[in-house]
Amino acid sequence: MHKSGGIVGMSKRNFWMIFKVAWAQSATTHNILKSFEKAGIYPINKNVTIRSIEPKRASTPPTSIQLAGNKIKTLYTTKTLRHLKLEFRLKQDPDITQKLFKAAFTNAANANIQLHRAKGLEEALKIERKKRTRSKRLNLVGEEGGGAFLYSPSQIERARAYQSTKALAAEQEKEAKKQEKAEKKVEREQRDRATKERVAQREVDRQIGRDTKEGVKRARKSLIPSVKRVQMTPKRFHTIGLVSKEATKDHDVVEVDKSVVEGEEGVLRSRAGRYIKISSKLIK
């Protein structure tokens, strides 16, 4: 309140907050004894009491020398300070130095005052907002109403039962939240475990695929020499000489079965086992 600069009005709540702190700091045994001693009441000191009621003497007016001490007017604006600084560079006068220091101290004091006032205004704004916020009623029995509550013994019992039920409900809600948190933690751990298992299985599958590819490559490399040998082995053919005493015609053709037909001249079939059509006149 003392920082607000009188902007915020006094209320009972604000008065008690200020009075409580002031009373705790001022109403002490040491301060009470010092106040009695300062007034000359205890221990009794008549000189102090008489001095407080004696007429005060007029102060001595300053001499002409003291009046003529400040020849240069102290300047506080930025423009005049720049001019005074330039003049000090050209002429280092002790009076100019003193005025510069005085202006610096005055400006620093003004800055501190403005900062203190700004903080006080912020505190005043907070207090005003707090004053405008209406407090909630302390509903002990759980009944809505706009009037004053007068508690009888039966209402006190109801209030105790209501408070115990409210505390039990709060405890149950707390336990439910705790249980829900534990369940979420278990589910999160299960998801993490399943994710790790999938990653591990995927890595195993990749390794199996790489091993399979390597095995196929090695098998192919091992088969290449045998295939080359087979390809390089010359084919063996049997030359069969067939002699016909009569002229052959196109319709003089018979079909020979796939089975092996052996004769004196060798095997009469193709290497692939296909049908061989020869003239009937050529078969002995």
pLDDT in tens, 254-266: 444 444 444 434 3
- 161 is written with which tokens? 């039962």
In whole angstroms, give the CA distance from residue 281 to residue 51: 171
**Position 176 confidence tier, pLDDT thresholds 50, 70, 90:** very high
> Model confidence over 38-91: pLDDT tens digits?
888 888 888 888 888 888 777 665 443 333 444 566 667 778 878 878 888 888
What pLDDT, on a 0 to 100 scale, did the predictor assign at position 76?
72
In whole angstroms, give the CA distance from residue 222 to residue 214: 12
Q: Which of 12-16, 135-139, 206-210 has the highest mean predicted lDDT (pLDDT)?
A: 206-210
Q: How many domains are contained in the chain?
A: 3
> Model confidence over 104-119: pLDDT tens digits?
888 888 989 999 888 8
What pLDDT, on a 0 to 100 scale, did the predictor assign at position 189?
93
Is the model's pLDDT at 192 over the cut of 90? yes
**Position 179 confidence tier, pLDDT thresholds 50, 70, 90:** very high
Residues 50 and 79 in one domain: no
Residue 179 in any domain: the answer is yes
Task: Tell me which of 172 and 148 has the higher pLDDT.
Answer: 172
Residue 114 in any domain: the answer is yes
What pLDDT, on a 0 to 100 scale, did the predictor assign at position 15?
85
Residue 275 in any domain: the answer is no
Residue 161 in any domain: the answer is no
- Report the percent of the chain where pLDDT is more than 70: 64
Range 8-26 average pLDDT: 85
Range 185-209 average pLDDT: 91
Cβ 76 vs Cβ 109: under 8 Å: no
pTM for the whole thing?
A: 0.32
What pLDDT, on a 0 to 100 scale, did the predictor assign at position 184?
93
Residue 156 in any domain: the answer is no
Provide the residue range defining the domain that includes 2: 1-56
Residue 62 in any domain: the answer is no
Cβ 275 vs Cβ 256: under 8 Å: yes
Residues 79 and 49 in one domain: no
Residues in contact with 197: Cβ distance below 8 Å, sequence separation at least 6, in sequence order: none
Is the model's pLDDT at 284 over the cut of 60? no
Nearest residue to 97 (alpha-carbon basis) of 108, 105, 62: 105
Mean pLDDT of the chain: 74
Residue 200 in any domain: the answer is yes
Residues 81 and 42 in one domain: no
Task: Tell me which of 160 and 140 has the higher pLDDT.
Answer: 160
